[in-house]
Amino acid sequence: MADRPEKEWRSLREAAAGCRRCDLWRNATQTVFGEGPADATLMLVGEQPGDQEDRQGRPFVGPAGRMLDRALAEAGIDRDRVYLSNAVKHFKFVPRGKRRLHQKPDGGEIAACRWWLDRERALVRPRVTLALGATAARALIGKIVTIGGTRGRTIELADGGLGRVTIHPSFLLRIADKADARAEYERFVADLGAALALAEG
């Protein structure tokens, strides 16, 4: 990061640590802000932090993060050169004994947190932002869309950047059939590669 963008990013991150724009902060351990170089040409946006992300304060460090790391490597993408964030910065969950089960953010929570995502994107100014899953796509595009209807297309975003949509890596963890899982994983790797090619083009 150059000095000025790094200072601006740190200031934004510090401000987000005290975010009260919706009620999710009340039960979450901490805000999980984005991370990566401020001059990244490719930005990946997921749904929200999971249990491990909430505990560690970093995006994509749990099971879905490990799946993403594997796919990034196969697509020839260095994680350290990509900016990673989430549409919602606090973990939304319901307690079940000692476990904390993920709950999908609602429209109000997505809208409240889009304020932070917009500022991250304004600072990083990625050429391409890849939305991982429907929640991220909604935050990025500003309306409800389906993965099937938007996957594989390049979308011109309101700020002039380019957007693309794919699945969230957690989806891959839930596919029971091995053949289906492998096919979907290969398609996910291809989506990552296509986003990189567009970002570097």
Give 51's contacts (C-beta < 8 A, 6+ positions apart): 62, 91, 93, 100, 102
pTM of the model: 0.95
Which tokens belong to 176? 């029971």
Contact residues for 194 (Cβ-Cβ < 8 A; gap 6+):
152, 164
* pLDDT confidence of residue 2: 52
Say yes or no to pLDDT of 167 above 70: yes
| 75 in Cβ contact with 196 (< 8 Å) | yes
Residue with the bigger pLDDT between 131 and 1: it is: 131
Q: Which of 102, 146, 130 is nearest to 36 (CA)?
A: 130
Q: Which residues contact 143 (CB under 8 A, 6 or more apart)?
A: none
CB neighbour list of residue 13: distance below 8 Å, 6 or more residues apart: 33
What pLDDT, on a 0 to 100 scale, did the predictor assign at position 6? 79
Is the pLDDT confidence value at 170 over 80?
A: yes
SS3 string of 42-65? EEEEECCCCHHHHHHCCCCCCHHH
Mean pLDDT computed over 140-168: 95
Specify the pLDDT at position 1: 45
Q: Six-digit token pair at 58? A: 């970093």
Residue 91, class by beta-carbon neighbours within 10 Å (0-12 exposed, 13-18 middle, 19+ buried)? buried
Model confidence pLDDT, tens digit, residues 29-80: 999 999 999 899 999 999 999 999 999 999 999 999 999 999 999 999 999 9
Chain segment 71-89, per-residue pLDDT in tens: 999 999 999 999 999 999 9
In DSSP terms, which residues pair with 130 in a beta bridge? 44, 164
pLDDT band per the 50, 70, 90 thresholds, residue 156:
very high
Tokens 């994107």 sit at which residue?
A: 121
Please say if the pLDDT value at position 114 is more than 90.
yes
